Chain A
Amino acid sequence: MNEEVSSTEVVPVPGRAVAVPSANRRSERRLGWMLCAPAAVVMLAVTGWPIVYSVLLSLQRFDLRFPARKAWIGVDNYATVLGSSFWWNAFAVTVLVTVVSVAVELVLGMVIALVMYRTIVGRGLVRAVVLIPYGIVTVAAAYGWKYAWTPGTGFLTRLLPAGSAPLTDHFPAIGIIILAEIWKTTPFMALLLMAGLALVPEDTLKAASTDGATAWQRFTQITLPLMKPAILAALLFRTLDAFRIFDDIFVLTNGAQNTGSVSLIAYHNLIGGLNLGIGSTMSVLIFVTVALIAFVFVKVLGTSAPDAGRR
C-alpha cells in the first residue's frame, strides 16, 4: 500500500552539498557522546588498561613469591607456556569440552526450541521451567552434579557398577563436566533458536506442505536455511562462552586428573602459584584464541555481528 518512508524522501542535488552540520545535528552529536561517555569510560577503564597491562606482565618474569627476581624477559613466558604439556593438555580439554558441548547443545537446544515453539499444551509452563537451568547459579548446579556422581551420596552413581567413582577418572570426569555444561546452557541455546524459529513464516511452511514436503523435508529445506543467522549467532556465543569454562570444572574436579581448562590453569598459576608472568601469558593466549574463534565465525561462516553476550 504505502511503501513510503518519510525520512528518506531525499534527492541528491549534485554540487549543493552543505559541509557544516546544523546546530541541531551538532547538539545531537554532543548529546550522543555525553550519554555514551560513562558506559564507554567504565568499559574501557576496566578492560582496556588491564589488557595492555596483562600484555606487559606477560613479558616479565614476575612471581609474587619471588618479587626480587622480577625482570623483563621478552617472549620467554610464551615459550614456557607453549612448550608446556600442561598448557596443551588444558587446551585440548577446553577444545574437547567446547566442541562436544556446543554440538550436543545445538541438537538438544533445537529439540527443546521446537517443543517450546510448537507444543499445543502448557506452553507457558514449559518456557518458564526451561529457564530454570539458565537462571541457576553455575556453581550451585555444579555441586548438584558433583554430589550426584559422588560414590555413596549420588543417585546417579548407583546406576553405575559398584565401586566406580567417575569423577576420579579422566574421561568420565570430562564427560560429567560436559554434562553439567550442557544442562546449564542448553536452555539459552534453545531460546536463541526459538527466536530463530519465529523468523520462519508459517505461510512458507504451509506452501512447502502443499508442495508435498514431508515434515522432515520442511525442517531441513525451509526451517534450517531460514534460521541460519540465528543458528550461527547462537553457535558463536556458546562457543566463546564454553571456551572460557571455569566454574563447572572448579567445582567438579578442580583440574584433577588433567581435567583443567585453560581458564582454570591460568587461575591456578595466578592464585595458587602467584605467578603473574605466566598467568598473564596464559590470559593473553586465551584472549587471542577467543579473538581467533570470533574472527573465524564472523569472516568464514559469515555470522554478522550478533547481539551482546547473554549468559
Chain B
Amino acid sequence: MDRTAGGITRWSLVNLLVLLYALVPVVWIASLSFKDPSTFTDGTFFPTRWTLRNYSGIFDNADFVRGLGNSIGIGLVSTLVAIVIGTMAAYAVARLDFPGKPLVLGLSLLIAMFPQISLVTPLFEIERTLGLFDTWPGLILPYITFALPLTIYTLSTFFKEIPWDLEKAAKMDGATPFQAFRRVIVPLATPGVVTTAILAFIVCWNDFLFSISLTSSSRARTAPATISFFTGSSQFENPTGSIAAAAIVITVPIVVFVLVFQRRIVAGLTSGAVKG
C-alpha cells in the first residue's frame, strides 16, 4: 500500500467525498432545524439567523413528547423481549442439535424478507378485533417479530464464534453446566448481545408503516409517525422547522449509538452475511 504523501493526500480526498456523501443531507436537516422560521424560504444551506425555537416548539408539543415516549418505551420493550427469546433460540440454533432447527431458521429468513405491508392489512383487522389496535402491545408484537430474525441470526453467529472447547474446559475445571454458562459463555456473549440489542432497537425505532397503520391516536403512535402528522397550525404556519427539529431529535440517539459502537455494529451487520 502506498503510504507516501501523495497516497495519503489522494485517500484523504476520496474519504472526504465519502464523508460529504454521508453528512451533507444530515447537516442540511440540522441546519434547517436551527433556521429562524422567517428564513426558511431563503434557500441557503446554512442558517442565516440561528434559533432554538423549533426545538422548544416541539418539546412543547404534547403529541410529539408522547410520541417520543412511545418510541422509547415500545422500542425498549420490543428489544428486550426480542433479545431474551432471540438469545434462547440463537443459543439452541448455534449449540444444540435438534430436529426442527431448519424450520426455525427458515421461518426467520422468511420473516426477514417479508413485505411488512402484507401484514398490515390483516393485523389491522385482527388487532381491532382483539382490542390491540392503537395500544403499545399492538406495536410491540410486530416489532418483536421483525426484530427476531435479525436477533437470531446475529446472535447465533456470535455464539458459534465461542469455541466449544471453552465449555468443555470449564467442565473439566470442575464447573457445573450452569457455572460454565454463567462464568464462561455469558461474559463472552455479552458484547454480541449488546450489539444485537442495538441493531434490534434501530429496527424498532425506524419503523413507520406499522406505527401509522396500527394506531389512530397519540396513545401508542411512535415519533416518526407523529412527525408525519405535524401540521404546523399549533406552533407556526409552516411545520418545516418543527419537522426538521423532530427529525434531528429522533436521529441523534441512533447516530450516537452508531458512532460509539461502530466497530461492533459493522461486525454484527456483516457477521453472517459473508457466508451467504
Q: Which residues of A contact B (CB under 8 A)?
A: 25, 28-29, 31-33, 35-36, 38-40, 42-47, 49-51, 53-54, 57, 112, 115-116, 118-122, 124-141, 143-145, 147-148, 152-155, 157-158, 183, 187-188, 191-192, 194-196, 198-199, 229-230, 232-234, 237, 240, 243-244, 246-247, 250-251, 262-263, 266-267, 270-271, 276, 279-280, 282-284, 286-287, 290, 294, 303-311
Contact = CB atoms under 8 A, between A and B. Distances in A.
B206 A311 contact: yes
A113 B25 CA distance: 20
Given A154-B43, A158-B43, A266-B117, A47 B145 contact: yes
Nearest to A294: B113
A47 B119 contact: yes
Interface stretch (B54-62, B92-100, B186-194): B92-100
A230 B273 contact: yes
Contacts of A230: 273-274, 276
B148 A36 contact: no
B255 A139 contact: no
Contacts, number: 349
Given A42-B144, A115-B14, A233-B276, 10 more contacts: A50-B123, A51-B122, A124-B263, A126-B18, A137-B254, A140-B224, A140-B227, A141-B26, A229-B276, A244-B117
A40 B8 contact: no
Contact of A153 (B89, B154, B240): B240
B28 A286 contact: no
Contacts of B52: none
30 contacts: A28-B97, A29-B99, A32-B92, A35-B96, A36-B101, A38-B88, A46-B141, A50-B119, A51-B118, A54-B118, A115-B18, A121-B12, A124-B262, A129-B23, A132-B259, A135-B254, A136-B26, A137-B208, A137-B224, A152-B40, A155-B43, A155-B45, A158-B43, A246-B208, A262-B117, A266-B117, A267-B120, A308-B108, A309-B112, A310-B199
A129 to B, nearest CB: 5
Given A154-B43, A280-B122, A286-B117, A309 B149 contact: yes
Contacts of B274: 192, 195-196, 198-199, 229-230
Which of A128, A247, A284 has the most chain B CB within a 10 Å cutoff?
Answer: A128
A306 B112 CA distance: 11
Interface residues of B, number: 109
B88 A36 contact: yes
Given A36-B89, A152-B41, A287-B114, A143 B121 contact: no
A233 to B, nearest CB: 3
B179 interface: no
A50 B120 CA distance: 9
B188 to A, nearest CB: 18
A145 B112 CA distance: 27
Contact of B98 (A32, A251, A279): A32
B150 A309 contact: yes
B76 interface: no
Nearest to B107: A43
B121 A276 contact: yes
Contacts of A243: 115
Contact of A42 (B29, B40, B141, B271): B141
Contacts of B2: 120
Contact of A122 (B15, B85, B104, B111): B15
B143 to A, nearest CB: 10
Interface in B233-276: 240, 243-244, 246-248, 250-251, 254-255, 257-259, 262-263, 265-266, 269-276
